[in-house]
Amino acid sequence: MSGDGELVFRNICPRNCYGTCGMLSYVKDGRLIKVEGDPQHGYTKGRLCLKGYAYPEYVYHSRRLRYPLRQYPRGSGQWQRISWDEALTAISEKILELNTRYGSNLALSYNKFSGNLGFLHQAVEGMFNSFGPHTKAIGDPCLAAGSDALVYDCGEATGPDPESMAEAELIVIWGVNPAWTAVHQLHFIEKARDRGVPVVVIDPLFTATAAKADLYLQIQPGTDGLLALAVLKILHEEEKLEQTAIRDYISGWEPFEAYLMAKIDLEAAAEQIGIDAAGIRELAVLYARHHPAANWVGFGVQRHANGGQTVRAVNALTALTGNLGVKGGGLFYCYLAGQNFAQTISQVAGPVPNRLINFNHFPQEALKLQDPPLKFLWIASRNPLSQDPAVKNWEKLIAQLEMVVTVDLFMSQTAEKSDIVLPASSHFEELDLNTSFWHRWVGINEPAIPPFYEAKSDLQIARELTARLNELAPGFSAFPSHLSPEDWLDQEFTPEILRLLGIDSWQDLKKAPRKLPVHLNPWQDRVFKTGDKKFSLYTKEGKAKNFPALPRYKSLSAPGEYPLRLLTPQHLNRIHSQYSTLDSLNPDEESNSIEIHPRTAGSRGITEGDWVSVYNETGSGLLRARLNPTLPVNVVMAYQGGGKPINSLIPALFTDMGVKSTGNTGLAFYDVFVNIEKSRGEAHA
């Protein structure tokens, strides 16, 4: 309790973001009045991003969903408020009717990703598991190729504690924009800079992070692999590679060296990368002079057809310069700390022989299903009509489905196309456990305020829906609907986890988040979880999986009719499509723009503020031109999310890797080519 009858609670931001920030929420008379950073959180250290501070506006937003709604006919915009009782009965009756019609639950599926990454939101997976065999989507649209690159080379997708980046002597940021997407990491980067440590940023876009760099290399998208190989060739010729590493814990050096010497030519590489050879040499000099070097590989780097091989080339550079397993150095990509927990709620009823489809090709594959066709879809923590490639296919799929239920806090583009929309609670309204995909801090998210109107958590909805199903058809669901959120958390905190965290019970985390001291400096013993226990430059599995055994560079050129590369990175003030409703963060005038180099615009008669038509074989969209002289002339850029028609231009293109760690290849969101012309008419924006 602070002054004035205010109560203070600990929350954790559950968004799909590097920070997973510790927050303090101030509550008066049951109302969230202010959110601050939790100073006890050792990674986020009492600071939040703008989106975090704006949570009171988000929670009480006039457009937040209050009640269950039903739309008839679907897509008509004619919404009717219904009671939870009606909603649960209508959904249950449909599920049971489909089960009777087809003799199984294979006509049912769900699509869930990253709206809220809290553990108890895995109740959605648990609920579907409790129905027995159903249609399940496998894959990851975000990080698949890079994860596989780590698995092939190092035996597991892990990386050092990001706090240790502060101890690096050189920091090289390959395609990450932490000034926008991982703001807390800047603290650790700045700590190193205070000691004079050089920071390099490699990015086709001159980002806010690039603006801070000591050396900025503006490369052509998808060419990082070639850059890493060119640097390696220079270092090899100058005898600057770490010979003990090659001797003791790296395998495949001979074929790798042969490839480097035969195929990598500095001048030709510089041309393709789009920078001077001097820039490549400068980077090589930095690696030769400074040790340990931290290589941070962002997710943007692997959103390309050759994304996995690109990450493997940077892995090779890290290993051959002796930077793996050295405190302060290493390869930073991501580490899913949740894997240390049992995640029991997602595994209700044990393994189920599901009918599997590709998450990254969901509507296309779902449309092909027969015996039975897909008829029922549950959408939670997900806005595919904004975030998926080839969004038009979603409209086709929805047309064939008999019932679409979306659980969300807002009327997203996907909710708008649903039959039933159920209001989700915000994380301030529920208990949860949160870990990060980046740092090692673990926190409890306390319920701080009562649910907003009739909103319910995904867990509460799973409990009530499975109970209703079992009332109507005893034994239909094996979901233990009697278990409370506290019961589920009890199962996660095993004696081993409690010991590692240094606490007696999970309730202790209400006093402060704690750090899980695991994988802080992986590979410090230079033993890898690969077949021969060495770092693999040469991956035998590659051939069988359709990529070369060595991290070879493969170029990609623009098709003639669509000469401009479209990059659609993340926006500072959104998380994907989220927060676009917050006017204070996302003013209208920003939301429909595409950035173009003045020369590219000029050659098409386009000036600042003109409406332009952006098009390719997949689709088209009308956007407002913003001239940006810092872009490469052949690159145009529009931030994803925010209600733009951008994903209708993005085909479902796949990365080279991803199957091993996520079940399917990832998405090459950044290998998209378009053309642009000045639009004759004004957009009805």
Q: Which residues bind ligand MGD (CB under 6 A)?
A: 16-18, 113-116, 121, 141-142, 174-177, 180-181, 202-205, 207, 219, 221-222, 224, 298-301, 304, 380-384, 386-387, 407-410, 412, 424, 458, 567-572, 574-578, 640-641, 646-647, 650, 669-670
Cβ-proximal residue to Mo ion, closest one: 142
Residue closer to ligand MGD by CB (options 304, 534) is 304
Give 203's contacts (C-beta < 8 A, 6+ positions apart).
173, 175, 177, 209, 210, 216, 217, 218, 219, 300
Cβ of 558: how many Cβ atoms within 10 Å? 14
Residue closer to ligand MGD by CB (options 298, 619) is 298
Q: Which residues pair with 173 in a beta bridge?
A: 201, 296
Min CB(336)–Mo ion separation in Å: 13
Residue closer to ligand MGD by CB (options 164, 436) is 436
- Among residues 296, 306, 336, 280, the alpha carbon closest in space to that of 157 is found at 336
Q: x/- site string to Mo ion, residues 124 to 153, per CB under 5 A?
A: ------------------x-----------
Min CB(177)–ligand MGD separation in Å: 4
Min CB(322)–ligand MGD separation in Å: 23
The pair of three-digit structure tokens given for residue 129, joined into one six-digit string: 């598991």
- Among residues 206, 252, 270, the alpha carbon closest in space to that of 628 is found at 206
Min CB(181)–Mo ion separation in Å: 9
The CA-atom distances, in angstroms, between 68 and each of 50, 71, 319, 581, 623 are 30, 10, 54, 20, 34
* Partner interacting with residue 646 (select from Mo ion, ligand MGD, none; CB below 5-8 Å by kind): ligand MGD
CA distance 358 to 381: 18
- Among residues 416, 310, 324, the alpha carbon closest in space to that of 79 is found at 416
Q: Where are the beta strands (DSSP E) in 551-616?
A: 564-567, 593-596, 611-615
Min CB(664)–ligand MGD separation in Å: 14
Residue closer to ligand MGD by CB (options 102, 180) is 180
Query: Hunting for tokens 């309730």 — which residue is that?
Result: 507
CA distance 614 to 636: 10
Min CB(459)–ligand MGD separation in Å: 10
Asked if 618 contacts 648 with a C-beta cutoff of 8 angstroms, the reply is: yes
Residue closer to ligand MGD by CB (options 571, 624) is 571
- Number of residues that make up the chain: 685
Residue closer to Mo ion by CB (options 142, 635) is 142
Residue closer to ligand MGD by CB (options 215, 572) is 572
| Bridge-based pairing state of the strands 293-297 and 105-112 | unpaired
* Partner interacting with residue 295 (select from Mo ion, ligand MGD, none; CB below 5-8 Å by kind): none
Phi-psi region of 670 (alpha: psi -120 to 50; beta: other; left: phi over 0): alpha
Angle of the 266-273 helix axis to the 224-237 helix axis, nearest 10 = 160
- Helix H, strand E, coil C: the string for 452-497 is CCCCECHHHHHHHHHHHHHHHCCCCCCCCCCCCHHHHHHHHCCHHH
* Partner interacting with residue 378 (select from ligand MGD, Mo ion, none; CB below 5-8 Å by kind): none
Q: With contacts defined by CB under 5 A, how many residues of the chain interact with Mo ion?
A: 1
DSSP secondary structure letter of residue 663: S
Residue closer to Mo ion by CB (options 481, 568) is 568
* Partner interacting with residue 574 (select from Mo ion, ligand MGD, none; CB below 5-8 Å by kind): ligand MGD
Min CB(425)–ligand MGD separation in Å: 7
DSSP secondary structure letter of residue 629: T
Min CB(87)–ligand MGD separation in Å: 14
Residue closer to Mo ion by CB (options 142, 594) is 142
Residue closer to ligand MGD by CB (options 55, 299) is 299
Min CB(16)–Mo ion separation in Å: 6
The CA-atom distances, in angstroms, between 448 and each of 1, 26, 67, 85 are 12, 8, 20, 26
Residue closer to ligand MGD by CB (options 387, 600) is 387
Min CB(615)–Mo ion separation in Å: 26
Min CB(356)–ligand MGD separation in Å: 20
Q: x/- site string to Mo ion, residues 31 to 70, per CB under 5 A?
A: ----------------------------------------
Q: Where are the beta strands (DSSP E) in 597-662?
A: 611-615, 620-627, 635-637
Q: Which residues pair with 251 in a beta bridge?
A: 536
Asked if 85 contacts 93 with a C-beta cutoff of 8 angstroms, the reply is: no
Give 77's contacts (C-beta < 8 A, 6+ positions apart).
71, 416
Residues in touch with Mo ion (CB under 5 A):
142
